[in-house]
């Protein structure tokens, strides 16, 4: 594997792509440290820690932005508005015939229009979220007047915050497109991953501080638990890899064709059906929905609302049950909107292909629908387990907080492993095209055949 990494820098165009990717990712991390004008980021971070936590919606946004949200930097919103806009547009495509026709029949021009619509939606979401962020910071300034979080609150501060943060997200979107075009891997995914990875030192620092506690009355993590945590981390990582790469290969046979005087014999192929077709989207959707009550509960003083927020706090068993049910729902919902068995069956029939033992047409569509339903159920079980694994660690092992538990499983690990595998596969394809060995000599990444 080390020789494969050394081979990267022997290929000029691949070396240029890798260095370009690293440079642009470094620019993203530098921008995550630049504060928004008029904000005392140190005082804001202290107030933010008192007012919010990982159980709120702000904690989720802060994780994806690599801690920039808590400091209200120019990249505080991160790339999440662009991802939200993309998801919303894909969902609308499934229910609006005009958008579906544009995506399927528009070709390159249709794809360009869809990209433009996504950018407009991102701009609107950025304006809304940045205004919400400015209002939230001003509310913290009113609650902690001695801290001096905002020097000059008012309309001017809100407009400046909206312009700054919107420009920051649009810049990240441009950087992601540049990485995808001129670098290696998917730019948007890499930006999210580098933000999550940047939180790893905080998790390791929290783990070290917990192990170094001298107060016998404090809830402390015992050193004997470290090997168990390492084994759990390795097991969850292996499970995430299997979930990400797992697929069911449906054999496909092509009928004989006669072109002129030549007879082309039928060929055999397969259609890969992924176990986790929806990726990490169900976890993000379920987390965002369940974190709204906790976020509102930190603001309001209404007894009923606070009672509901306490019921849906992540430490509660009821929260985990609802969380798992929502993950199952969004797994099936997202798969249903993106996977069309009728279209696959029609395309196969048009191309003279069939699944052995299954009649073309409606029987083939029913077969794909039944197979994908079973695969989605298995993937949803595994995805739900990975999502709740940090909560299970917190409940099972004394002395573990959220920063430590989220490092050993959950959404963050799922994203990191998935993006890392995709990037390694992209680099490996470049190496194999130039007749270099890939990362694996005995095994092989999916996509290398």
Sign for the pseudo-dihedral over CA of 357, 362, 365, 369: negative
- What is the DSSP-derived secondary structure letter of residue 146? G
Tell me, rounded to whole angstroms, the distance of Cα 435 from its chain centroid: 33
Question: What is the C-alpha separation between 300 and 292, in angstroms, rounded?
Answer: 12
- Let me know if 3 is exposed, middle or buried by CB neighbors in 10 A (0-12, 13-18, 19+): exposed
- What is the DSSP-derived secondary structure letter of residue 68? H
In this prediction, residue 229 carries a pLDDT of: 78
In this prediction, residue 166 carries a pLDDT of: 92
Question: Across the 449 residues of the chain, what is the mean pLDDT of every consecutive 10-residue run?
Answer: 68 86 90 83 70 55 67 82 82 80 75 87 88 81 72 86 91 91 86 82 74 58 76 83 86 74 70 86 78 64 70 75 89 86 88 86 91 92 85 74 68 81 81 64 49
Q: 319 near 387, Cβ under 8 Å?
A: no
Answer CATH for 1-198 from 1.10.287.130, 1.10.510.10, 3.40.50.300, 1.10.3370.10: 1.10.3370.10
Q: 147 near 47, Cβ under 8 Å?
A: yes
Looking up tokens 């079973």, which residue turns up?
374
Per-residue b or e along 180-197, where b marks 16 or more CB atoms closer than 10 Å to that residue's CB: beebbbbbbbbbbbbbbb
Question: What is the C-alpha separation between 372 and 94, in angstroms, rounded?
Answer: 18
Question: What is the C-alpha separation between 289 and 295, in angstroms, rounded?
Answer: 10
Instruction: Give domain limits for the chain.
Output: 1-198
In this prediction, residue 376 carries a pLDDT of: 92
Ramachandran angles phi, psi of 142, nearest 5°: -75, -35
Ramachandran angles phi, psi of 177, nearest 5°: -65, -35
Question: What is the C-alpha separation between 222 and 211, in angstroms, rounded?
Answer: 7
Q: 394 near 401, Cβ under 8 Å?
A: yes
In this prediction, residue 392 carries a pLDDT of: 79
**DSSP letter for each residue of 208-245:** HHHHT---TTS----GGGHHHHHHHHHHHHHHHHHHHH
Question: What is the C-alpha separation between 357 and 77, in angstroms, rounded?
Answer: 52
Q: 348 near 362, Cβ under 8 Å?
A: no
In this prediction, residue 439 carries a pLDDT of: 57
Q: 134 near 161, Cβ under 8 Å?
A: yes
Side by side, the strands of the sheet bearing 353-354 are 268-274, 247-254, 353-354
Question: What is the C-alpha separation between 28 and 298, in angstroms, rounded?
Answer: 31
CA count, 13 A, side-chain hemisphere, 167? 10
User: For the chain, how many residues are written?
Assistant: 449
Question: Across the strands, what pairs with 84?
Answer: none
Crossing angle (nearest 10°) for helices 226-245 and 362-396: 170
Question: What is the C-alpha separation between 37 and 399, in angstroms, rounded?
Answer: 38
Looking up tokens 């995808």, which residue turns up?
180
In this prediction, residue 446 carries a pLDDT of: 47
Question: What is the C-alpha separation between 216 and 239, in angstroms, rounded?
Answer: 36
Do the bridges between strand 247-254 and strand 268-274 make them parallel or antiparallel, or are there none, so unpaired?
antiparallel
In this prediction, residue 449 carries a pLDDT of: 38
């Amino acid at each position: 594997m080390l020789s494969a990494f050394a081979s990267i820098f022997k290929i000029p165009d691949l070396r240029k792509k890798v260095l370009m990717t690293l440079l642009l990712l470094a620019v993203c991390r530098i921008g995550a440290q630049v504060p928004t004008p008029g904000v005392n980021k140190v005082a804001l971070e202290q107030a933010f820690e008192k007012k919010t936590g990982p159980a709120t919606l702000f904690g989720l946004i802060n994780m994806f932005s690599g801690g920039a949200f808590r400091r209200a930097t120019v990249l505080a919103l991160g790339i999440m508005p662009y991802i939200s806009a993309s998801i919303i547009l894909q969902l609308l495509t499934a229910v609006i015939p005009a958008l579906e026709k544009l995506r399927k029949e528009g070709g390159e021009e249709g794809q360009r229009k869809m990209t433009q619509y996504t950018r407009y939606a991102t701009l609107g979401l950025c304006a809304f979220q940045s205004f919400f962020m400015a209002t939230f910071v001003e509310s913290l300034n009113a609650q902690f007047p001695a801290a001096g979080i905002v020097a000059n609150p008012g309309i001017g501060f809100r407009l400046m915050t909206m312009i700054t943060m919107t420009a920051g997200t649009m810049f990240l979107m441009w950087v992601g497109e540049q990485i995808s075009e001129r670098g290696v891997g998917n730019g948007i995914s890499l930006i999210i991953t580098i933000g999550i990875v940047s939180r790893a030192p905080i998790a390791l620092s929290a783990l070290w501080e917990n192990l170094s506690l001298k107060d016998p009355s404090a809830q402390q993590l015992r050193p004997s638990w470290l090997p168990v945590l390492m084994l759990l981390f390795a097991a969850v990582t292996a499970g995430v890899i299997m979930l990400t790469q797992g697929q069911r290969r449906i054999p496909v046979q092509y009928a004989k064709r006669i072109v002129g005087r030549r007879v082309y014999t039928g060929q055999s192929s397969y259609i890969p059906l992924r176990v986790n077709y929806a990726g990490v989207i169900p976890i993000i959707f379920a987390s965002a929905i369940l974190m709204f009550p906790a976020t509102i509960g930190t603001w309001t003083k209404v007894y009923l609302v606070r009672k509901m927020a306490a019921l849906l706090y992540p430490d509660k068993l009821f929260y985990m049950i609802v969380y798992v049910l929502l993950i199952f729902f969004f797994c099936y919902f997202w798969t249903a909107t993106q996977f069309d068995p009728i279209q696959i069956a029609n395309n196969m029939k048009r191309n003279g292909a069939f699944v052995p033992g299954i009649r073309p047409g409606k029987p083939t569509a029913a077969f794909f629908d039944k197979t994908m339903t079973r695969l989605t159920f298995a993937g949803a079980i595994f995805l739900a387990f990975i999502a709740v694994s940090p909560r299970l660690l917190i409940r099972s092992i004394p002395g573990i907080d959220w920063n430590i538990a989220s490092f050993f499983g959950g959404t963050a690990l799922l994203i990191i492993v998935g993006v890392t595998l995709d990037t390694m596969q992209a680099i490996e394809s470049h190496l194999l095209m130039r007749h270099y060995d890939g990362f694996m000599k005995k095994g092989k990444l999916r996509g290398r055949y």
